[in-house]
Structure 1
Amino acid sequence: MNMNYPKFRKSAELFGVICGGLLISMPAIPQALAQESTPKINPCPRIFYEEPHNNQVVVPQGCPPNALTQRLAAQGLLPVPATPSQEQTNLGVGGETPQPGVRVPGPASGDQTQQPSPGAVSTEQPPLLQPRQTPSATIALANGTVNIKLVNDTATNVTFQVIGDTAPRSLAGKSDVTLQGLKAPVTVTFEREDGGQLIVTPQASSEPGNLNVTFNEATNAAQGRSAMRIEPNGSVFLN
């Protein structure tokens, strides 16, 4: 019995060390899991790229540009959208981990491309739109300003806005309104409230500094226009 006692004591001590180590390491496991499960907030949520926000909301600096951000940047109303940060690239649009087949705009050195899977939808943004080379009309400005008469020949309301000058306003069908004393360059956006497309026809008036713009219903999307830009030299571009 006396010879077996040291062996029993050593076994008991070893068992105590093992149990103590387990008790010390156990609190660290839930803490590590809690840290890994904490979600990261993405400043570029997916809703920015879904309708109607895609054509109504300007995304924050650093986010991939949506349709409205691209359109206004191409017109010189916004700075060129910055490259998304590495953290935003890792999160992807909407805050989720990029799925197979999704191409996320990466740093300037190149895009990160993953293998596509059946049914995957690409979130790659199209290149920035460029102003048309040939102006749709040319007017003589009056001391750098222009009066714009909007004529709605459609049967539905048209929402218009002078960017940086007025809030969105509604122009009833078969009516007109005149915007006076707008200083060039000036950008006017417009859309049919029923979601249809607009044919936009700008025409210089016989009086300097006056432009008539007529809205008609378009029969297909290729005819549709949603913005007009008047440059300081009097050139009128449609987009």
Structure 2
Amino acid sequence: MKFPNFRKSSKLFGVLCGGLLISLPAIPQAFAQESTPNVKEPGAASSTLNPRPSIFSEPPYNRSQAPGSPGSGVTPSQPVPSDQTQQSSPPAVSTDQQPQVEPRQTPTATIAITNGTVNIKLVNDTAANITFQVIGDTAPRSLQGKSDVTLQALKVPITVTFERVDGGQLIVTPQQTASEPGNLEVTFKEATNATQGRSTMRIERNGSVFLN
């Protein structure tokens, strides 16, 4: 029985198995290299890519442009003035602008009016001449010192003015004549104080007499 060929076959088989065992560890490594993707490190951007395309510098992508700037295509809205929003509201009226009513003067005397007229007797107790006038009724007249005159049927209301010719002040005292209704007696005396001086007498329709 011959075994030489068998030995050669065994050696050849051993060589093939040995080479196969040696190449097996290299096969997974080759597959691993082929299956591993080409991953670039972060930050290593390709030089072929444009990091800022020109389309982002054109409207409406150019966000950096201010509203209303040329090329932005955006028109800013105009603010409405505050005074236009309040046109419908009426202006407030200040109480400080309201006219103040002065208290009415207290009458110096009161006379009973008969038929809407009054008789006035002027008595000059001074040594100076006095000029008097019934406004709208008589012209200026002169009353001598230490004398008197009576003005009859004067229709009320009336205003009588008087002054001393020498420029002095007059104390004026009106008083109704008790025995004769509708008659008023006015006495003039010299005043030593300027604050006592009076130059106008007013008689109202209700008989109130005021001095100023």
Query: If the length of structure 1 is used for normalisation, what is the TM-score?
Result: 0.45
- Quote the Cα distance in structure 2 between the aligned partners of 1:233 and 1:205: 17
Instruction: Read off the aligned partner of 1:176 and give its amino acid letter.
Output: D
Superposed CA offset, 1:145-186 (max 9, x none): 000000000000000000000000000000000000000000
The within-5 A match list for 1:118-197 is 133-197=105-169
Structure 1 residues 216 and 230, CA gap change in structure 2 (3 angstroms): same
Q: For residue 195 of structure 2, give the secondary structure of its aligned residue in structure 1.
A: helix
Structure 1 residues 195 and 132, CA gap change in structure 2 (3 angstroms): farther
- Quote the Cα distance in structure 1 between the aligned partners of 2:132 and 2:111: 21
Structure 1 residues 157 and 132, CA gap change in structure 2 (3 angstroms): farther
- Quote the Cα distance in structure 2 between the aligned partners of 1:135 and 1:164: 22
- Quote the Cα distance in structure 1 between the aligned partners of 2:151 and 2:199: 17
Tell me what 1:215 maps to: 188
Q: Which has more radius of gyration?
A: 2
Aligned Cα root-mean-square deviation (Å): 1.3
- Quote the Cα distance in structure 2 between the aligned partners of 1:220 and 1:141: 33
Superposed CA offset, 1:100-123 (max 9, x none): xxxxxxxxxxxxxxxxxxxxxxxx
Runs of 4+ in 1 over 2 A off after TM superposition: none
- Quote the Cα distance in structure 1 between the aligned partners of 2:144 and 2:192: 20
| CA shift for structure 1 position 131 | 9.2
Structure 1 residues 209 and 148, CA gap change in structure 2 (3 angstroms): same
| Identity over aligned pairs, percent | 83
- Quote the Cα distance in structure 1 between the aligned partners of 2:105 and 2:142: 30
Gaps of 5+ in 2: 1-101
Structure 1 residues 131 and 221, CA gap change in structure 2 (3 angstroms): farther
Superposed CA offset, 1:179-218 (max 9, x none): 0000000000000000000000000111111000000000
Instruction: Read off the aligned partner of 2:167 and give its amino acid letter.
Output: G
| CA shift for structure 1 position 133 | 1.3
| Native 8 Å contact 1:132 1:237 kept in 2 | no
